[in-house]
Structure 1
C-alpha cells in the first residue's frame, strides 16, 4: 500500500508465495508493489534488519541528573512518586524545563523494572463449590439515601459465595460490630438454605476499635462460636490486605453501582420508611442472584445443612430503670413506662432495636439510638411514657434535657417555640403539655400536627377547648353496650347437674 511501511510478515509471505507464483501475483497477495518486490529480490534482508537506530536530535536534559541525583533518591526511598522527584529536581535546578516530566517518568519506570523492589504477586485461585463464603461491610453514604426526608447514615453488610456468586445484603444502621455481622450472616445463610465449610471476614478491626483486651477476646470467642454453630471454619484475611478478601471487595463496587442506577431509575433517593428501603435493596440483590441462578442451585446442593435454630445475634446486658423514667446504654438515654422505675431489666441489643425483658417476659421493643459523632449523648424518647408526669409538672418541659426529642413531630416543636414567644413561660408549658395530652389520649397525633401547622402558618395560638371538642369521640359512633345479668337461680341448676354427675 502506498505511504505505508513494509513489515517483516509481508516480506516473509512474499518470499513464500514467490516459490510457487509469479512475482506480480506474489506481490499482490502479500500487499506490496511490484517495484518493492524487485527490491526484495536484490536485498533479501527483513525490514527490521534494515532499520537504523535513531540518533538524538537534542541534548539530553537528564544526562547529568538521573544517575547522580534521581537514582540515589529511588534507592533511599523506593516508594517515592515520580512527580515528587520531578518537583525536587525543579527545586534544585530552576533551569530544568517542565517538559521533561514525561521523560523522567519513563526512565524511572524503566529503572524500577531493572533495579526496583520485588512486588506482591496475586495468585489466582481455584474456587471449590460449597467451600467458602465471604463477608464484609461497605459504606453507602455517597448515595445520599434519606428516609422520611432525613439523611440515612448507614452501611451494608454484604455476603457472597465465592464460587457461584450468591449475594445477600443487609442494611446496617450502626457501625461494624459483632451484632451486625451475626444478624447479617445468619440472614444470608437462612436465605441461602445452607452453610459453606469456611467463612472469611476481614480482621474485624472496626469492631475491635476502642475495646480493651478482655472485650476483644470476648468478641473473638463469640465470633468463633457463631461459626461453630453452623459448622463453618472461621478465617480472616490479614489486616490492611483487602485483596485477600477480593471476591467480596470487588463485588462491593458492582452492588453500589447497581443501587445507584436503581435510584436514578426510581427518580428519588427518599423512602417512606426503613422497611421500604430494605425491600428496595433486597430486590436489587435478588435480580443479581437470578442471573446466577443455575450456578447457585448447583452449589446449594453441596452446602452443609443448617442447624435446627438460629443462634443469638444480639448482645445482652442488664440495666436499672432510674427515677428519670428510663436508662442509659451506650451513651443513649431511653425512656420506658414509669411503672418500671426501680426494676432491673434485661436488654437484648440488636443493630436497629432493643428488646426489654423482665425475667423471661418481653416487655417492649425500642428503636436503637446512636450517640453523636462528637461524643454527645443521644436520646430515644417516647412522650407516651412521661406524659402523665408532665401533667403534674408542666414547667419541667421548659428546661428538659431531651425536650427536642420529646416532641413526636416537628409541628409540636415549632408550636412550643411559638408559644414561648407569645405567652409567659408557665402558660406556654401548660398549653404545650395539654396539646401532648390531647394527642396521647385521643390518638390524634398526626391530625393534631396538621392543625398546629395551619395555626403556625397564620401565627394563631392553638385553642385547646376547640381542639378538645374537635377530637372528642363522636357519641353516635360509641357502641351501646347492654349487659344482662343472669339470675342466680341458673347457678343452682348448674350445681345440681354437677352433683348428679359426681354421683
Structure 2
C-alpha cells in the first residue's frame, strides 16, 4: 500500500513481490483474510443445553472443588442417553464457567534467593524404601536441611518421629558441617513435633526453638500449615533425595545394613555426591554466611527420673534398667534421638540405647541382663530353664 501511493497497481505489486491479480483484489477489498472469515457455527446440537444451567451449575456451586470427571459420571447416571462422547465437551464447558464464575485461587509469588539469606529444614518419611538393619526393618525418617540459594544439603537419620530433639541435632550437625549459619531458618508449622503436647509444653518447645535459632543468629520463620509451596525450596528436594537413595539401594543390591552407623554413612555419601555438583555455588555462598558461635547449644532434653526397686526407671512409656546400686537414686537423663546419657549429679554413669513405645501405645522395655542377673541367681527357681534361654557366647 505504500508503493500504491505513487505507482499503479501492477507496478506496486511487482515491487511488493506478489501478483497483479492480488493487487487488484486488495484494491477492491482492503480487509485482511482473517477479517473476512465468518465465525464457525455449531455443527451439531448442544448436548448439554438442557442440563448445564439446571444441573451442572448447581453442582459446581455446591462443591467448587469437584472434579469434572465426577460430574461426568453423575450425568451419565442421571441421563444415560447423553453417551460417553460428551466428556471433553463437558470439561471445556466447566473450565470456561470456572474462569468466569469460579472462586479466586491462591497466587504464588516467585522468590529470588540471596546468598546466605535462608536455610530450610523438614522431615521426610523413608519407610517406603524398606531399609533393614541386620534383617530388622528400620522405622525412620530423614531430617533434611537445605540452603535455598546454593542447594547445599544435609541429611540426618532420625529414629523416632518429628521432635525438637531431632530438629536441634540435625540442624546443628548441618550448620557445623557447612561452617556457617544463614540469616533466616525456615520450617513448616512443626505440627508433628507439637502433637500430643499440652499448652505449657508447646510454649516451652516454642521458646526452646527460638533460643536455638538465636544462638546461631538466625531469624526463625514458618510457612502456613498445609501450604507446602511456601517451603518449596526443600519440599521439591525431598523427592529428588529419596529417589537418589532408592536408586543407590538398587545399585547396591540390598537394602540391609550391618548396623545403623553403616546406613548413616551410606546416606552421608549420597548427600556428599549431591553437594559436589553444586560445589562452586556452595563455596560462593559460604562467604555470605554468618560465623558460628564458639560452641553448640543443647540438642537433647533433660529429665529427672527416680530408680525404683525394680532396678530401673520409666521414661516416655519405656522401662530402662540400670545397675541395682542406683535403686532409690534420682538420676539426670539427657534424652537424645537415639540414646540416653545417664548422670548422677555431674558424673556421667552410662549410655543406654533409646527405646520407643509400640505403635499401639503399649509400653516397651530396654533391659540389660547384666543389671539384674545377680539378683536372679539368688532367687529360687528363677533360672530353672536358663539353658533354654542362654544367649550364644561371643567368639
Aligned to 1:99: 85
Aligned to 1:238: 224
Question: What is the aligned residue count?
Answer: 380
- By relative contact order (CA 8 Å, sep 6+), the higher-ranking structure is 2
1:263 to 225, 246, 249: 249
Aligned to 1:67: 53
Aligned to 1:500: none
Deviates more, 1:37-46 or 1:141-150: 37-46
Long gaps (5+) in structure 2: 1-11
Provide closer, same or farther for how the CA distance between residues 52 and 330 of structure 1 changes in structure 2, counting only shifts above 3 A.
same
CA distance in 1, matches of 2:281, 2:380: 65
- Please show how residues 80-159 of structure 1 align to structure 2 within 5 Å: 80-159=66-145
TM-fit CA distance, 1:40: 5.1
Alignment root-mean-square deviation, CA = 2.1
Residues 95-123 of structure 1: per-residue CA shift (max 9 Å, x gap) = 33122122111110111112211111110
TM-fit CA distance, 1:94: 3.4
TM-fit CA distance, 1:395: 4.1
CA distance in 2, matches of 1:325, 1:381: 10
TM-score, structure 1 normalization = 0.72
Q: Does the 8 A contact of 2:121 with 2:143 survive in 1? A: yes
1:361 to 347, 350, 356: 347
Name the larger-Rg structure.
1
TM-fit CA distance, 1:324: 1.5
1:199 to 182, 185, 190: 185
- Please show how residues 259-298 of structure 1 align to structure 2 within 5 Å: 259-298=245-284
Q: By percentage of residues, which structure has more helix? A: 1
CA distance in 2, matches of 1:288, 1:368: 31
Indicate the SS of the match to 2:348.
Answer: strand
Indicate the SS of the match to 2:72.
Answer: helix
2:336 to 350, 372, 381: 350
1:375 to 349, 354, 361: 361
2:371 to 385, 392, 404: 385
Residues 432-491 of structure 1: per-residue CA shift (max 9 Å, x gap) = 46x35xx6xxxx33x4xxxxxxxxxxxxxxxxxxxxxxxxxxxxxxxxxxxxxxxxxxxx
Q: Does the 8 A contact of 1:353 with 1:368 survive in 2? A: yes
CA distance in 2, matches of 1:39, 1:54: 28
TM-fit CA distance, 1:51: 4.5
Long gaps (5+) in structure 1: 1-16, 24-36, 398-425, 448-503
Corresponding position: 1:163 with 2:119: no
Residues 1-38 of structure 1: per-residue CA shift (max 9 Å, x gap) = xxxxxxxxxxxxxxxx9755866xxxxxxxxxxxxx78
Q: Does the 8 A contact of 2:156 with 2:264 survive in 1? A: yes
